[in-house]
């Protein structure tokens, strides 16, 4: 009797809805955090401009969508364009700092983030733009009309991350990236052009951030500060997942997003954010190398 009362009191429908929500945001977050952790892992650069690359991707998506009317084209062009911009940023601001104190790269990327933010404000103004989702179908989930597009975001993010993983695992340049991440000196001695690998890794990370910006654009408005929230969460994910650990970041992104989604059943979404910080603090206190990494021997 007691047990059934407890089972009935659990809002199963809400939990299912929030599970789906959590996975959707988790995949987007994983996409952003993958780029961030790739860049950190390979060159020890904490990229404070990552959120602005996400924002820039969304804006380029807005512009291309307005001109061509094709969402998928907008996604592709934004990704490629921001990858190129990322490569240029790396060459101009980070390459000259190789071998310097990591603090200088933090300041450099912070500077880049301010420039990009203010450029967007100047170019597009303070009013949020909207990216129209490519299709507007819904399906019924309990009392909700749940948009298919959200599931497509999760699927596409997973596909991009999966493609990236395959590239790292089997591609010639993927092996170069992993070798450089593990030992940049030995990578050079094996003939791997490490400065070029750095630029390529930054470009890939930037492109992934841009893709998430366009994919997520339809759910939130596009404005010049949209990167801030996301990059903060992505940083939490990267730390909780273990700095530079790709698999850990993906697991942490989904884990934290699910926790926040469940928390928002009982408290407001704004308060639910606190959960991520609690996880962050606990991780730093008890497992500073990251929750999702094997215990160091």
Partner 1 sequence: MSDAAKDAPLIAVEDLHTFYGKSHILHGVTLHVRPGEVVGLLGRNGVGKSTTLKTIMGLVRPTEGNIRLDGTPITGLPPHKLARLGIGYVPEDRRIFRLLTVMENLRTGLDRQGVSDEKKQALLDKVFNYFPVLGERRNQAGGTLSGGEQQMLAIARAMMLEPKIILLDEPTEGLMPRMVSQISNIIDVLHKENVAILLVEQNVPLTLEASERVYIMEKGSVRHHAAAQDLKVNDAVIHQYLGV
Question: Comparing C-alpha atoms, which of 217, 220, 212, 229 is closest to residue 59?
Answer: 217
* List of residues 6+ apart from 171 with CB closer than 8 A: none
Residue 215 tokens, joined = 């994919």
Among residues 132, 188, 225, 289, which is the contact residue for partner 1, using CB under 8 A?
188
Question: Comparing C-alpha atoms, which of 169, 212, 199 is closest to residue 54?
Answer: 212
If the CB atoms of residues 119 and 165 are measured against partner 1, the closer one turns out to be: 165
d(CA 291, CA 282): 10
| CA angle centred on 62, ends 269 and 159, rounded to 5° | 70
Query: Closest separation between CB of residue 87 and partner 1, Å?
Result: 19
Quick note: the x/- pattern for partner 1 over 34-63, rule CB under 8 A, is ------------------------------
Of the listed pieces 21-29, 33-41, 130-138, 184-192, which binds partner 1 according to CB under 8 A?
184-192
In the block, which residue shows the tokens 């650990």? 245
If the CB atoms of residues 183 and 229 are measured against partner 1, the closer one turns out to be: 183
Count of all residues that appear for the chain in the document: 297
Query: Closest separation between CB of residue 197 and partner 1, Å?
Result: 10
DSSP 95: G
If the CB atoms of residues 99 and 126 are measured against partner 1, the closer one turns out to be: 99
Question: Is 95 among the residues that bind partner 1 (CB under 8 A)?
Answer: no
Buried b (16+ CB within 10 A) or exposed e, 97-113: beeeeeeebeebbeebb
Question: Is 99 among the residues that bind partner 1 (CB under 8 A)?
Answer: no
Question: Is 186 among the residues that bind partner 1 (CB under 8 A)?
Answer: yes
Question: Is 194 among the residues that bind partner 1 (CB under 8 A)?
Answer: yes
In the block, which residue shows the tokens 């994983």? 30
Question: Is 221 among the residues that bind partner 1 (CB under 8 A)?
Answer: no
Question: Is 297 among the residues that bind partner 1 (CB under 8 A)?
Answer: no
Say if residues 58 and 229 touch (Cβ distance below 8 Å). Answer: no
Of the listed pieces 182-190, 205-213, 218-226, 259-267, which binds partner 1 according to CB under 8 A?
182-190
If the CB atoms of residues 92 and 189 are measured against partner 1, the closer one turns out to be: 189
* List of residues 6+ apart from 254 with CB closer than 8 A: 22, 23, 26, 27, 29, 30
Of the listed pieces 90-98, 132-140, 153-161, 178-186, which binds partner 1 according to CB under 8 A?
178-186
Question: Is 271 among the residues that bind partner 1 (CB under 8 A)?
Answer: no
DSSP string of 228-297? HHHHHHHHHHHHHH-TT-HHHHHHHHHHHHHHHHHHHHHS-HHHHHHHHHHHHHHHHHH-TT-TTSPPP-
Among residues 190, 265, 281, 284, which is the contact residue for partner 1, using CB under 8 A?
190
Of the listed pieces 41-49, 54-62, 101-109, 189-197, which binds partner 1 according to CB under 8 A?
189-197
Question: Is 206 among the residues that bind partner 1 (CB under 8 A)?
Answer: no
Of the listed pieces 34-42, 187-195, 206-214, 258-266, which binds partner 1 according to CB under 8 A?
187-195
Write out the residues near partner 1 by the rule CB under 8 A: 172, 175-176, 178-179, 182-183, 185-195
């Amino acid at each position: 009797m007691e047990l059934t009362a407890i089972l009935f009191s659990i809002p199963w429908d809400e939990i299912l809805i929030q599970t789906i929500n959590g996975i959707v945001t988790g995949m987007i977050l994983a996409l952003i955090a993958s780029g961030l952790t790739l860049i950190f892992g390979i060159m020890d650069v904490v990229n404070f401009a990552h959120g602005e690359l996400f924002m820039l991707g969304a804006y380029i998506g807005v512009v291309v969508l307005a001109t061509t009317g094709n969402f998928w084209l907008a996604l592709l062009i934004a990704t490629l364009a921001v990858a190129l911009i990322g490569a240029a940023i790396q060459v101009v601001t980070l390459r000259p700092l190789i071998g310097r104190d990591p603090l200088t790269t933090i300041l450099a990327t912070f500077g880049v983030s301010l420039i990009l933010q203010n450029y967007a404000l100047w170019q597009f103004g303070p009013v949020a733009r909207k990216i129209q989702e490519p299709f507007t179908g819904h399906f019924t989930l309990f009392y909700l009309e749940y948009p298919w597009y959200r599931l497509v975001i999760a699927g596409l993010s997973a596909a991009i991350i999966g493609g990236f993983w395959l590239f790292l695992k089997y591609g010639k340049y993927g092996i170069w990236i992993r070798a450089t991440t593990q030992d940049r000196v030995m990578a050079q001695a094996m003939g791997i052009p490490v400065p070029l690998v750095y630029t390529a890794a930054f470009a890939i990370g930037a492109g992934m951030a841009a893709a998430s910006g366009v994919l997520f654009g339809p759910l939130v408005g596009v404005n010049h500060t949209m990167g801030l929230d996301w990059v903060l969460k992505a940083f939490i994910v990267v730390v909780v997942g273990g700095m530079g650990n790709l698999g850990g970041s993906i697991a942490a992104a989904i884990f934290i997003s699910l926790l926040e989604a469940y928390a928002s059943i009982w408290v407001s979404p704004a308060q639910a954010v606190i959960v991520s910080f609690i996880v962050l603090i606990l991780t730093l206190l008890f497992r500073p190398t990251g929750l999702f990494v094997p215990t160091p021997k």
